[in-house]
Amino acid sequence: MKTQQRTSDRSVVYITKILRTLANLYLGASLLPPLVPPPAPRRLVSKRLRCDATLVKVVCSHLDSLSRMHSTTFNALNAIFYNARRQPFSVRFYVARLVEYSHCTPESFIAALVYITRVQSRMSLCRRNYHRVLGSALVLAIKSSTTEQVYSDDYYAGVIGISAEELRELETKFIRLLNWETKIEPAEFRNFEEILLNSLSR
C-alpha cells in the first residue's frame, strides 16, 4: 500500500513538473516578438540608363569633369591608386571594357561615381589613377549592392587589369577613404543620376 502511494506521489510530482515546463514555454514564447523577416532594403533603380554606349558616355563625362575640378597633384597617401605612367589606352576604351565585362547593372556604375565624388576632397582624379579608382569603386559598389551577382576577386581583377591582391588592397583603401559610408539613399541616387544625364546635354 505504501509502495503504491509513493508511486502515485512521484507521478503527481512528475506531471506537475511537465505542466510547469509547458506553462513556462508557452508564457515565454508569448513574450517574444513574432518571428518575421526584416523589411526588404530599398532598391536603387535607374529608370533611364542601360549598359550601353550612353552609360559609357555618362561615366566618361563625369570622370572628365572631376579631373578638371580638382588638382591633379600627386598624393603620397593614396599612392596605391597611381600608376608609374599614364595608361596607353583611352578612358572611353577602359570604361567600355568595364561596362561589357563586369556584368553589373547601371546602378552599380552610378553608385561607383557617387563614391568617387565623395572622396574627391582627399584624392584627385587624373590619367595616372582613374582606372584603379574607378575599378575599385565599381567592385565596392557591386559588393555593397543587394541585387548584383558578385563574381570572384580574380575575375574582377582580370577585368580591371590588376592582380586580385592589388584589388583587395585598393578596396580596403577606398572604403577607408569613404569612412565606411557605402550606403546611398534613393533620393541621393536619383539626384545624382539626373546630374549625370543633364551633363550630356551641355
Provide the pLDDT for residue 11.
62
Same structural domain, 195 and 108:
yes
Domain around 7: 1-36
Task: Judge whether 44 lies within some domain.
Answer: no
Q: What cell was used for 95?
A: 570604361
Same structural domain, 118 and 61:
yes
Cell 555618362, located at residue:
58
Same structural domain, 85 and 141:
yes
Write the Ramachandran bin of 109: left for phi over 0, alpha for psi from -120 to 50, otherwise beta.
Answer: alpha
> How many domains is the chain built from?
2
Same structural domain, 152 and 106:
yes
- Over residues 176-195, the pLDDT tens digits come to 999 998 888 888 888 888 88
The CA distances from residue 2 to 5, 6, 9, 12, in Å, are 5, 6, 10, 15
CATH code of the domain in which 80 resides? 1.10.472.10
- Over residues 75-124, the pLDDT tens digits come to 666 777 777 777 777 888 888 899 888 888 888 998 999 999 888 878 87
Neighbour-count burial of 82, counting CB atoms closer than 10 A to its CB (0-12 exposed, 13-18 middle, 19+ buried): middle
Same structural domain, 66 and 141:
yes
Q: What cell was used for 187?
A: 533620393
- Please report how many Cα atoms fall inside a 13 Å half-sphere around the Cα of residue 102, on the Cβ side: 30
Q: Flag whether pLDDT at 168 surpasses 90.
A: yes
Mean pLDDT, to the nearest integer, of 124-152?
A: 86
Flag whether the pTM goes above 0.75.
Answer: no
